[in-house]
Structure formats: structure tokens, C-alpha cells
Structure 1
Amino acid sequence: SFWIYIFIIFYFFFKIRAEIFSVKDDVVEVFSHDILKIILAVVVLNIFFSYGMLYLSNSILDIVPSGNAFNSFLTGTLITTILISPISEELIFRGVFLNRLQLAVPVVFAVLISSLLFAALHSFGSIFSAFIFGICIAILYLKTDNIFVAIFAHFFNNLFAEIIVVLDPNKILFTNSSVVLIMSILAVVSFVIILLFIIGNLKKLNNNDL
């Protein structure tokens, strides 16, 4: 998948080569105060929610063993996970699928379908959280009309997740009952906040007022 992603990235850059210097404003917008604030909020809330979903999936797999839910979470090179995947996946799912779907179905359905396709790439324990994250990223993309905002949010999310893995080699987040309880509570709170964010923005999308 590394080389497929690399090919996709180079293909997109080749297609926009004539306009490559016009993307400067889009890149600068990513680091504006308002955009960074939204990105940080979405990423942090999604991290907590993702761990909640991993706890839930781990509990289910303990009851009905069907493989390791953490395989895709713990494997893969850092370069692919943190850099290559965010760029290529955003170009595909938001840059192509979301935009193309908007031509065929209402924008809310385009957001949901493209996010579902994005979630399908993920493992059992993270499919639902990836779906929610995909919706949030799609909303950010539509609010800003800037693919670099989506890429940076995805990059920051994956970077944050990998840092947590590196800083927690003993799996305290999954083995310490007190930590699991706190993270589970934060997961529920994060999910409620994310859900309110999604519902509010999907209503605006439906009214073409985003």
C-alpha cells in the first residue's frame, strides 16, 4: 500500500502541476487560528473516542474471539501511517469521492457515503471511530474548501495516535483499570461533543448554509 499511496500522491501533483504555486494560500490557511482550533478539537476528541471504541471492541473479542482487533493499530511504518496515508487518503476520499458524490446525491449523503468508504479501510476496533472521524474531516473540508486542512487534521490525528503508542509500551491504557475507566468516561464525553458538532454542521450542509 505504501507504493500505491506514493503513486496516487504523485498522480495528483502531476494533474495540478500547472496550478501548484496557487496552493500557497490554502497551505497558509491551515495554520490560521480558527482552523487550527477546530482541527485540534476534532483530533483530541476523536483520540479519546477511538480509545473508547477500542476498549469496546476488545471486550467483544474477549467474549467472541475472532482475531486481534489491534493488528492494524499496532502495525505499519511511521512514515506510511503519519505522512503517506493522510495525504493519499484525503486526496481519495475527500478530494475525489466526496466531490464526485456531491454531483450525484445530496451533500449530506455524500459526506456519509465517503466516510463509510473511508471507515471500510480500518480494522474491526476502529471502523466506527474512523467513520465518525471521516465525517468530521469531510465537514472541515467543506467548511474551508481546502484539502490541506483535511490532510493536516488527518496527519495530526495519526501523529497523536502514534505518539501515544510509543509513550505507552506497557499498554497501561489497556491494562490499568483506573486508566481504562477514565479514558472510557472521556470517550463518552468526546462522542457526545463530536455528535453535536456533526449534527449541527450536517443541518447547515442540508440547508446549504455551511
Structure 2
Amino acid sequence: MEVLSADILKQVVLLVILNVFISYGFLYLSHALLNLVPALNFLFGSNTASNSIMALSLVATIIVSPVAEELIFRGIFLNRLNLIIPPLFAVLVSSLLFASLHSYGSIISAFIFAICMALLYLKTENILIPIFAHFLNNLLAEIIVRADVNSLLFTNDVVIGVMSILAAISFVLLFKSIIPELNSIK
């Protein structure tokens, strides 16, 4: 069996790109909410870190998290839940558990991403596929954050507008592909 076919690779790349746009869309919404209700700022801590801590954080985000989270949430939780509840609910519950560990502004996009990872896992029956997709997702997100040295993603109205439109389009495309997959789970 081929571990990563061209078709699965295309699906993974498309899923990751769509998810990144969706993530930024929800981050924009959360920032707008924080501007409307400044008292919610306690949810975000200050983010100062030394270079060595930042390097360790990158390794944890890009390598350790995808492996650990996929093994735990898809490899263990999804499989165990499948034994006691219908598969659709197992996907939703394991995805909700995954999302609950993510920060404010990322919970909804993490839930959508987790559903996609669960569907990839169930479709391929290979935990390496969602690990790879998760790795690509986190790598792309970190590259975007590091490349945005002037904070254009959150300060330039044109960039925010374009990213918001791409987020909405990505959400619709992903939603249209998730629903039939969820309906086909047996």
C-alpha cells in the first residue's frame, strides 16, 4: 500500500491551505471581539520569550504537536470512542476534545481541522497521513507568522479584507467537502 498517494497528497495540501485561511478568519473575528470587549484580553498572556525558548517552541509546534496530538486524538480517542459510540459521534467528540485544548480565537478552526484530520485518518486508515497534514499545517502557519514581520496580517485593512474573503471561501469549500464525508461514515 502506498503511504501517500498523489490524490491523498493533493487533498492534504488543499485541506491545509483552506484551514490556514479559515484560521486567520477566526483570528480576525476574535480580535474584533477583543476590540469590542477589552475585558476579554485576560485570555491572551504577554508573549515575550528568549530565542532558545522560541526555538523549542517552534520544534514543539511543528514536530512534536502534530505527532503527539494525532496519536492521542485520532490514534487513541477516535479509535476508542468508535468502540462505544457511533463513528460520526466519535469524530465529533474527539474533534471537540482536540479543539478544547486550543486558545481563544482558534477553537472553531481547530474543531474544523480536527474533523478533517479524523476523516483523513478514517479514509486512509493510516495515522501518518493526518500527522503529515498536521505537520504541514503548523509549518505553514509558523512560516506565515514569521514572515509577517510588519504585522500586515493584523494591521493592513486590504490584507485583512483579502484574508477574510479567502477565509469565507475556504470555509464554504471545506464545509461542502466535509458534510458528504461525515454522511458517509459507517
Q: Percent identity?
A: 57
Secondary structure of the 1:124 match is coil
Query: What aligned pairs does 1:28-177 form with structure 2 within 5 A after superposition?
Result: 29-30=3-4, 32-65=5-38, 66-67=40-41, 77-177=57-157
Tell me what 1:199 maps to: 179
TM-superposed deviation, 1:181: 0.4
How far off is 1:197 after superposition?
1.1
User: What's the RMSD between the two structures over aligned residues?
Assistant: 1.8
Q: How does 1:7-46 map to 2 (within 5 A)?
A: 29-30=3-4, 32-46=5-19
**Residue 97 and residue 122 in structure 1: after superposition, are their counterparts in 2 closer, same or farther (change >3 A)?**
same
The residue type equivalent to 2:41 in the other structure is G
User: Which runs of 4 or more aligned residues in structure 1 lie more than 6 Å from their structure 2 counterparts after TM superposition?
Assistant: 72-75
Which structure is higher in RCO with an 8 Å CA cutoff and minimum separation 6?
Answer: 2
Which digits, 9 at most, give the CA deviation of each residue in 1:85-142, with x for residues without a partner?
Answer: 0000000000000000001111000000000000011011100000000000000000
Q: Secondary structure at the match of 1:187?
A: helix
Q: Which AA in structure 2 matches 1:111? A: V
Q: Secondary structure at the match of 1:97?
A: helix
Segments of structure 2 that go 5 or more residues without pairing to the other structure are: none
The gaps in structure 1 that reach 5 residues or longer are 1-24
How many pairs are equivalent?
179
- The aligned counterpart of 1:180 is 160
Deviation at 1:67, TM superposition (A): 1.7
Question: Relative to 1, partners in 2 of residues 1:186 and 1:169: Cα closer, same or farther, differing over 3 Å?
Answer: same
Shift of 1:29: 1.1
